[in-house]
Each structure stands twice: as C-alpha cells, then as structure tokens.
Amino acid sequence: MLGPDILIAMDRDTGGSLRSLRMINQERLLSLLLTHGPMHRAGLARRADLSRTTVSTIITELMAHGLVVESDGDSGIHHDGRAREMLAVNPTAAAVTGMDFTFNAVWVHVSDLGRQEIASGGAPLDPALTPAGRIDIGITLLDRLLAQHGLDRGRVIGAGIGVPGPIDRATGVVGVSLPGQPWSHVHAAEEFGRRLGVPVFIENNTRLEAIAEAHWGAGSGVSNLFYFGLSSGIGSGLVLDGRVYRGAIGAAGELGHVSVNIDGPACPCGNRGCLVGYAGIPAVLAALRPALGDDVTIERVLAATAAGDRACLGVLADVGTVVGRVLANLCNLLNPERIVVGGELSRAGEALLSPIRDAVRRYALSLVRDVDVVPSALDLGARAGAVGGAALVLTETPSLAAALDRLATKEAT
C-alpha cells in the first residue's frame, strides 16, 4: 500500500502534468486561430486533433480570460454575447510589433492579434550609427507610435526584428556576410529583449519580407514560395511546406553570393563572380553610366525604363537573364510553386520580369519550368520587413497562451 507522502507526490505530479497539457492545448488552439483566422469548433477540433469536448472546455477558459471571442466570420469581431458560429482570437487582447533595420533607416509596425495594423512609421539612420544607437531610435519610434494610439508598451507581447546579415540560430548572434555591417557579432535578440522585456525574434530582413509576402502579399495561399529582393544587395527567403526555411545555422538565402562566373570580379564576400556583382543596383548603375551619365540614380533608371529607353531595357534584360538562370537551378532543386520578385529593381516591372521568366523556362527542367514568377505585392524593403516581423511573433512565439493569459490576468487586477 502506498504511503500518504507518495500519494501526495503523485497527485502533485498528475496536477502538474494536467496543467502542462492544458497549456499545450491552449497554445495549439490559439496558434490555429492566429494562423487560419476564425474557425468553427468542429474544424478547430479536427485541426488540433482534439475531442470537441476538450476544445469546448479550453475555449470556455480562453473566452473567460478575454483571449477568444465569438465571431460571425467577417472582419468585425462581436462582443455582444450572442451565439456565433465562429471563434477567433480577440484582436484587442494584446499587440505585437515588427521592426526592420536597413543600413540607413528603420521601420516599425504595430498590429493587433488579428494582424490589423495599429500604427506604422519610420525614421532615418546614420549609416555609421552603432547597434545601441539603432536600438534607441527603434524603441523611441515604437513608444511614439504606441502613445499616438493610447497604448502602453506593456500591451506588446513580442517583437520581430529584421537586420541585415545571417543570424546564427544556435547562438542568436548576427553573423558576417560582408564587411562593414553594423550588427555583425551582436547578440541582437538579447539586446532588444533586455530593453523591451518581451520575447524577441531576430531575423534576416529579407526573410521577413518573404514572411510578409507569404501571409499577406503575392505569396498568400502558397505552401512553397521563394522570395528574393533585387536591391543594392540580393537576399532571399524560402517558405517550404508552409514553414520558413532557415538552414542549419540560419544562413539560408544568400542568393546574391551564388557564383555565376568563377572567373568574374572579386566580391567583398571573398568569392568571385557573385550574382550581386551582375544584378545588384550598383552593377545596373555602372552599366548605364555611359548612356545616362555619371550621376545616374535608380529612380532615373526606372523612369527611363518606363519611357522605353533602349539602354535601360537592354541592361535589365541582361539582369533578368542572369537572375533567371540562377532561379532555374533553384527550381530544379526545390520546385517552388511561386517566385516573388521584390526590391527596388522589381519596380521595373515586365522589363525585368519577362527576361527572368524566359530564362527560367529555357534553363529549368520541363517539370518545374512553369513556376509562377510574380512581382511583390507589398511595400518595398523595411516596411514589408516590419510587417513580417509582427507576423513572426504571432506564428512563432513560445508560450503565447501563457503570455496572453498573464496580460489578461494583470489587467483584470
């Protein structure tokens, strides 16, 4: 016969296990509602692989804490107590933020739990500014945006931060892909977490653009997506089977440093003939200086392209061809359903996209050559990256239910 001490210990273990299981199931249901939007109880039970009784019990708890509300499935969420067919995360229960840092600017985006924008704004950065100075400006901008909408920073439950460069998934330290990057060797998640006091996700900023396009842009509804941005640099993001792919250490996506000519010019990364040396904005401007003058800018190139300038059309055709050859190899390897082209050069439209498509069709295997190649649908650069940062919080925050529950309990007292 078991003694009373053992029975008490077993009871405590059982209670702890049940509480842990309940929290796991709460996380699962909240994650499904955040990812898929309003759902019927039956559909929620089916996707979560839980009984309807279990789902009803957990949903009742979440509703009591103001974390889940009943909805008619439209964009408006109803709080009047009438029976509704659908369930949704209460969008006003908390807020999340995304920040995206380029070399000379930062953009901050704040959204509710329904992914609706609350506030958004940017600020310039001195390229020589230290990481600490960049963090100061980003957080000051966040606080200003929150204050404009009557929100306290305590309602923010997570932040997704985009910075240039690869992020080591094991250490959280920003790596070095090119010399002179301001975040190199910085544990950015730790620094931001110390200042904000919430879970922080640090991600390559082009990958955040990919996440934004996958959720709300040209990649919406696509499970296998490749996004790349053609700007001064060339970065990319992969979504495979609906999940962001980062690679073994977080360095996946350095498309700009794929070598397209082993005898080509040296690249600052240490390689030769990198794609960015043929298709980045500096390469485009250099190729067009003889025709457009030494003071040529990307804005002037885009305007001349729209007016049908033959030199611009020719250079962009060359860029599209070399990019398309690289993408053909990627299609052979990964077979994406759609390729989304972003970055400043994407504003050239069909002058760039048509040569890319032609090269993909010519050089990819017949099984994969009909991949969609489309322009990005969202704002370029840091604006899209900041939106992607907010989406990252909603899809990858550990213990999201616990964080929301703590906030709801704190406000109730």
Pick the CATH number of 95-209+383-411 from 1.10.290.10, 3.50.50.60, 3.30.420.40, 3.40.50.450: 3.30.420.40
Token pair in block for residue 92:
């006003």
DSSP 287-350: HHHHHH-TT--HHHHHHHHHTT-HHHHHHHHHHHHHHHHHHHHHHHHH--SEEEEESGGGGGTH
Q: Looking at 180-184, 186-190, 258-262, which range is the least confident one?
A: 180-184
Residues of the chain with CATH 3.30.420.40: 95-209+383-411, 221-377
Asked whether the predicted pLDDT for residue 81 surpasses 70, the reply is: no
Instruction: Give the best-scoring range by mean pLDDT among 33-47, 109-123, 179-193, 345-359.
Output: 345-359
pLDDT (average), residues 293-300: 95
Name the percent of the chain lying above pLDDT 70.
89
Spatial distance between the Cα atoms of 121 and 114, rounded to a whole number of angstroms: 19
Better-predicted residue by pLDDT, 195 or 379: 195
**What stretches of 102-184 adopt beta strand conformation (E)?**
105-112, 117-124, 156-163
Predicted local distance difference test score (pLDDT) of residue 8 = 40
**CATH topology assigned to domain 19-73:** Arc Repressor Mutant, subunit A (1.10.10)
Please give the model's pTM, rounded to 2 decimal places: 0.81
CB 187 within 8 A of CB 171: yes
Fold of 221-377: Nucleotidyltransferase; domain 5 (3.30.420)
